[in-house]
Structure 1
Amino acid sequence: MIYILNIETATKNCSVSLSKNGQTFAIKEVSEEQFSHAEKLHLFIKEVLATENISLENLNAVAVSKGPGSYTGLRIGVSAAKGLCYALNIPLIAVDTLAVLAEKVSINSGIIIPMIDARRMEVFTQMFDKDYAPLSVAEALIVDETAFADITEYIHLIGDGALKCKIVLTDNKFIYHEDVVYPSANEMSRISYKKYVENTFEDVAYFEPYYLKDFMLTTKK
């Protein structure tokens, strides 16, 4: 059996799952307006392991959502994952956050476009086909009425970034999945197991999150 601990903290959702051979069988998550990742993450790790009476020493790998997303959230998740991998001497697996979000919907045709809110009308986004194969690279996009104008297929929009686009993306080709807001460690299980089988691992010492944009420090007005 291959046990992988999956950590997703790239958005407001603090999510941890334990998978066995690519199937999630324990998960703990919460999404709050105020980020609570620093307080909740290690507690969630302990709880999902206790659910199936699995110890840290039983883990074969740790997977972490690498971004793009919240600077603070990514730092917390990656730091925890690297610490566990180093202490247990097990592989670190990095999973694209937008790919995780895309897998929260199942479609028969069209394009899936996950969007993570990047403030104002900017989103982190990427295009995937119905089988979750990437059709573009991740980008920071300022959304206006011309976005995706060259696409004639139905476009399935998901994520907290998609919700704010309803005021500008009004064509009938846009289908909004309003119940899909944040990526979850549940959908990480299949991806991380595939990477484990393929031996697609990261260098624990040098791995860094994929921020996509430079971190900018601001002060309250």
Structure 2
Amino acid sequence: MHKVLAIDTSSFVLGVALIDENEVLGEIITNSKKNHALRLMPAISALLEDLKVEPKELTHIIVANGPGSYTGVRIGVTTAKTLAWSLGIPLITVSSLENTAQVINYYNGFICPIIDARRGQIFTGLYKRDSKELVSQEKDQLTLLQDWLQYLKEKNEPVLFTGKDLTIHQDEIKNQLGELALFAPATMRLPRPAELAHLGMLKSPVHDVHQVTPQYLRLAEAEAKWREAQEEKRND
């Protein structure tokens, strides 16, 4: 029997779930700007306590490792690594975008998850179901929304968009793609930690927990500014 704990803090959405084989035992999801660093461990503790499950009973830890919020991704990955190492159990990482797309269970066309990256940029990818399995059609990437929409327009096929940040870009997507753009209902736009758990169990554990790093797809803003400043100094 597998008791799997899944963790996702890669956006404002905090998600924790516990599954046992194919049964969802419990799930906590909040969509708030509150500090994940203060709320993640209490959420995990509350879930395990409610379900009368001891940490030593866990068999796997699965975490959404980005892209997304720099701080949020780091908190989730660090917590997952610490739990997996201290309990001596496997750690599995899953793309935050893949997990967002995974919620769309019964659509066989192109699925496009969206995470806002500010300044006209988005984290995105393109997925499609092959039978029941979700398969990546274009790798996760950081790109300009306009460039991405032009690429999708040239495909000339319907695309179902989803994701917590979809409302930010929905009007522009509709303007550019017209009837080719489909939008998931609000109830299916948040990533689900239970889906993350099921998705993770289809993947292989990492070989070395200590070598796991978040999938940022870009420099943190502070680091980017520091590098820009160093470059300017060299050019003076």
Q: Which residue of 2 aligns with 1:176?
A: 183
Q: CA RMSD, aligned part only? A: 1.7
Match of 1:29 in 2: 29
Consecutive unaligned residues in structure 1, runs of 5 or more: none
Stretch deviating more after TM superposition (11-20 or 45-54): 45-54
2: distance between equivalents of 1:47 and 1:122? 36
Distance 1:186 1:30 in 2: 14
Q: Which amino acid aligns with 2:31?
A: S
Give the number of equivalent residue pairs.
Answer: 214
TM-score, structure 1 length as denominator?
0.90
Q: Percent identity?
A: 26
> 1:44-193 alignment to 2 at 5 Å?
44-131=43-130, 132-144=134-146, 146-170=150-174, 171-179=178-186, 180-193=188-201
Post-superposition offset of 1:168 = 2.1
AA aligned to 1:205 is H
Please give the TM-score of this superposition, normalised by the length of structure 2. Answer: 0.85
Q: How many angstroms apart in 2 are the aligned matches of 1:22 and 1:205?
A: 29
CA distance in 2, matches of 1:22, 1:36: 31
More strand as a share of residues: 2
- Cα distance in 2 for residues equivalent to 1:50 and 1:209: 28
Q: Which has the higher helix share?
A: 2
Equivalent in the alignment of 2:19: 19
Give, in whole Å, the separation in 1 of the partners of 2:206 and 2:212.
Answer: 10
Contact 2:90 2:205 in 1 (8 A): no
SS of the residue aligned with 1:67? coil
Q: More displaced, 202-211 or 177-186? A: 177-186
* Secondary structure at 1:50 match in 2: helix
Which stretches of structure 1, 4 residues or longer, exceed 4 Å deviation after superposition?
Answer: none
